[in-house]
């Protein structure tokens, strides 16, 4: 597939994810603080948008399933700076995300489940087992680093456009 402008990437991204972005629980991710000053929603849209571009450029099959799993990789739905669990957030939140996704949206495919459970690789035990899983763990690290350095702000215009079009 040939996609060569930002607007075309945005349209393709919405084609893959619009129903999820319109879901009130996905929208609630805007209220959870993530990586100091961003939200889980902003971070997840940024990560999954980067994954979309990589999928298209590299010709990864089933890009829609990959991008949808990437959007929900941090669907853990709690305030991790203040809410503690028996296990450290690093190890706990991928499992919490899978549980929340399957409770809310139904079963993930084995490929999508592995993507989410392995996105903290190499810190977690689960290893990425597909091209999409490797792209997600790489994009997550890049975007998380940008969140802390505030350079992920450069995605703001695209993020706002995605949100504006998602509700049309």
Q: Which is nearer to Fe ion, 8 or 151 (CB)?
A: 151
Q: What angle do CA 86, 88, 90 make, to 5 degrees?
A: 145
User: What x/- string results for residues 17 through 36 when contact with Fe ion is judged by CB under 5 A?
Assistant: --------------------
Q: Does 74 contact Fe ion by CB under 5 A? A: yes
Q: What whole-number distance in Å separates Cα of residue 47 and Cα of residue 71?
A: 7
Q: Which is nearer to Fe ion, 11 or 129 (CB)?
A: 129
Q: Which is nearer to Fe ion, 11 or 124 (CB)?
A: 124
For 36, left (φ over 0), alpha (ψ -120 to 50), or beta?
Answer: left
Query: Radius of gyration (Cα) for the chain, nearest Å?
Result: 15
Q: Which is nearer to Fe ion, 74 or 126 (CB)?
A: 74
Q: Which is nearer to Fe ion, 60 or 117 (CB)?
A: 117
User: What x/- string results for residues 77 through 116 when contact with Fe ion is judged by CB under 5 A?
Assistant: ----------------------------------------
Which stretches does DSSP call E strand in the chain? 33-34, 38-39
The CB-based long-range contact list for 121-127 (8 Å cut-off, 24+ gap) reads 123/90, 123/91, 124/90, 124/91, 124/94, 126/94
Q: Is 138 exposed, middle or buried (0-12, 13-18, 19+ CB in 10 A)?
A: middle
Span of 22-30, 71-79, 110-118, 150-158 interacting with Fe ion by CB under 5 A: 71-79
Span of 53-61, 72-80, 100-108, 131-139 interacting with Fe ion by CB under 5 A: 72-80
Q: Does 140 contact Fe ion by CB under 5 A? A: yes
Contacting positions for Fe ion (CB under 5 A)? 74, 140
């Amino acid at each position: 597939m040939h996609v060569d402008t930002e607007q075309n990437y945005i349209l393709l991204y919405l084609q893959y994810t619009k129903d999820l972005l319109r879901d009130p629980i996905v929208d609630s991710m805007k209220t959870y603080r993530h990586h100091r000053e961003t939200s889980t929603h902003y971070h997840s849209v940024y990560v999954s948008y980067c994954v979309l571009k990589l999928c298209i450029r590299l010709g990864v099959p089933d890009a829609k399933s990959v991008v949808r799993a990437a959007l929900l990789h941090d669907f853990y739905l709690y305030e991790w700076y203040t809410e503690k669990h028996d296990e450290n957030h690093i190890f706990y939140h991928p499992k919490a995300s899978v549980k929340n996704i399957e409770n809310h949206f139904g079963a993930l495919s084995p490929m999508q489940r592995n993507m989410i459970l392995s996105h903290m690789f190499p810190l977690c035990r689960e290893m990425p087992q597909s091209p999409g899983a490797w792209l997600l763990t790489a994009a997550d690290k890049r975007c998380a680093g940008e969140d802390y350095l505030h350079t992920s702000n450069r995605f703001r215009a695209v993020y706002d456009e995605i949100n504006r079009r998602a509700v049309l």
